[in-house]
Amino acid sequence: MIRQSLKYRKTITVIGFLCLLLLVYLLLILKRDINDKVTSHQRLSKKEERIFESEPKREKHVKLAKMELDKNIHSTIKELQDAKARIEHLEKKIAILEGRIPEKYPDVKYLGYKERKRILVTGGAGFVGSHLVDVLMTQGHEVIVVDNFFTGRKRNVEHWFGHRNFEMIHHDIVNPLYIEADEIYHLASPASPPHYMQNPVKTIKTNTVGTINMLGLARRVGAKILIASTSEVYGDPMVHPQPESYWGHVNPIGPRACYDEGKRVAETLAYSYAKQENVSVRVARIFNTYGPRMHVSDGRVVSNFIMQALQNLTITVYGNGKQTRSFCYVSDLVDGLLSLMASSYTLPVNLGNPVEHTIEEFAMIIKNLVPGCRSTVATGAAVEDDPQRRRPDIAVAEANLRWSPKVTLKDGLQRTIDYFREELSRTTFYNNQTYMDINVKPHN
């Protein structure tokens, strides 16, 4: 009992001592908190006194802080503007890259190796050539485009890039070309006056030396060749309308002679090769043609008038405006070229639209087709050696090819105006940028 009592007493003593220590510790903490509060209050009072005593100095600090804030805001705005510019630059780069990759190839018919032909189109990236390439590709043939891009553009045929049936060769036909082909459409040559007058010697060489090279290629590989001639071989005609039997009225030393005489020599070369080397030749005399993919600055009547009307500029008619032209839509011309190549007719054939309009009438037709056009029609100086009347006699084509134009002038011009409007609104590359006329059915 005594031991147990001593044990309890010792335990109570220890607990009491611990409680005393705890109490002392709490009193010390409380005292320190009070001292801290007093000190803090004293410091705050002194700071308030200093601020109160030096109010101008405080205002100076506020102004400095505000200036620093404004500087930071301007810096942030500049950084945002730089970031926006970089984003826009990257978006343009992405658009260019996307524009080079076709989303989907146009539908192409499958042909077996017996039906499928290997077809060469010189000048295939040009206005008429690219439309011809579209039809040949959709028919299922293998197409080789040769172009030096003097007037042609890759954009005209880029929707076929990468297709197994399509091949592009950057080449000038003034130099020999060694490839295999079953048929050759020889369309290579600048065709608008500003383009062929820009380098007349080059124009003559393309239509003479270039034609010799293509005829030589046709002879070597046994290919059938179609020579794209022109209504310009008739010059300023004395016979109206112009039949294929008319020999023409051409100035051999005038500003247009490089093209007129170059094409006349090309025809002579074609029939010389046909007689001497038994080359199978076809010759198409192409009259004024218009449609999408025309070069916006080629100086032709259609492109000039449409561009001026869309921009509300003065529509300029050179001369008195009474000279006449006949305009054929490009799909009709392509259909005629295909029909001529497939036929057995070997003499020259006129391909054009026999519906004739004066240039003055044509300017008013285009003006009325452009909504809200405020352009006026004015006359300018006449162009040297400009033909006064131009209309094809297409009796030979109708009889031997069963061909005649189908697209009306109004419909064709509306499609062409839509194309030029899109060209004017273009600011960068983008997908589906190549105009392919889905309304035109492939030639069977």
**What integer pLDDT is reported at residue 264 of this predicted model?**
95
Residues 6+ apart with CB under 8 A from 310: 370, 373, 417, 420, 421, 424
Residues 6+ apart with CB under 8 A from 395: 243
- Say if CB 211 and CB 236 are below 8 A apart: no
* Phi, psi angle pair for 186, to nearest 5°: -95, 95
Residues 6+ apart with CB under 8 A from 94: none
- Say if CB 129 and CB 120 are below 8 A apart: no
**What integer pLDDT is reported at residue 387 of this predicted model?**
75
Q: Name the burial class of residue 106, with classes exposed (0-12), middle (13-18) and buried (19+) by CB atoms within 10 angstroms of its CB.
A: middle
**142-147 sheet: strands from edge to edge:** 166-170, 142-147, 118-122, 183-186, 224-230, 281-286, 349-351
The domains of the chain are located at 25-94, 100-425
Residues 6+ apart with CB under 8 A from 168: 125, 144, 145, 147, 154, 157, 161
- Say if CB 129 and CB 185 are below 8 A apart: yes
User: Tokens standing for 231?
Assistant: 């209504």
How many CB atoms are closer than 10 A to CB 381?
Answer: 8
Backbone dihedral region for residue 400 (phi beyond 0: left; psi -120 to 50: alpha; all else: beta) = alpha
**What integer pLDDT is reported at residue 431 of this predicted model?**
42
How many CB atoms are closer than 10 A to CB 109?
Answer: 12
Q: What is this structure's pTM?
A: 0.74
Is the domain spanning 100-425 CATH 3.40.50.720? The answer is: yes
**What integer pLDDT is reported at residue 406 of this predicted model?**
95
Catalytic residue among 185, 259, 329, 419: 259
Q: Which of 421, 420, 316 is nearest to 360 (CA)?
A: 316
User: Tokens standing for 129?
Assistant: 């050539």
| Beta-bridge mates of residue 378 | 316
User: Per DSSP, which regions of 197-259 are E strands?
Assistant: 224-230
Measure the CA–CA gap between 252 and 376, rounded to whole angstroms: 36
| Beta-bridge mates of residue 71 | none
* Phi, psi angle pair for 406, to nearest 5°: -115, -35
Helices 301-310 and 359-369 pack at an angle, to 10 degrees, of 40
User: What is the DSSP track for 314-347?
Assistant: -EEEETTS--EEE-EEHHHHHHHHHHHHHSS--S
- Say if CB 250 and CB 258 are below 8 A apart: no
- Say if CB 358 and CB 379 are below 8 A apart: no
User: Tokens standing for 248?
Assistant: 């023409």
Q: How many helices (H) and strands (E) does the chain have?
A: 11, 13
Q: Is 259 assigned a catalytic role?
A: yes
**What integer pLDDT is reported at residue 156 of this predicted model?**
93
What SS3 state is found at 243? coil
Side chain identity at residue 307, one-letter code? M
Q: ∠279-285-286 over CA atoms, to 5°?
A: 130
Residue 352: DSSP 8-state:
S
Residue 249: DSSP 8-state:
B
Q: pLDDT digit of tens for each residue in the chain (444 aa)?
A: 445 555 556 666 667 667 767 776 676 776 666 666 556 555 555 555 555 455 565 676 666 777 777 777 878 888 888 888 888 888 887 877 766 665 578 888 888 888 999 999 999 999 999 999 999 999 999 999 999 998 889 999 999 999 999 999 999 999 999 999 999 999 998 876 777 678 888 899 999 999 999 999 999 999 999 999 999 999 888 898 999 999 988 889 888 888 889 999 999 999 999 999 999 999 999 999 999 998 877 778 888 899 999 998 888 888 788 888 899 999 999 999 999 999 999 999 999 999 999 988 989 999 999 988 888 888 777 776 677 888 999 999 999 999 999 999 999 999 999 999 988 887 554 444 555 664 444 444
Hunting for tokens 């018919």 — which residue is that?
109
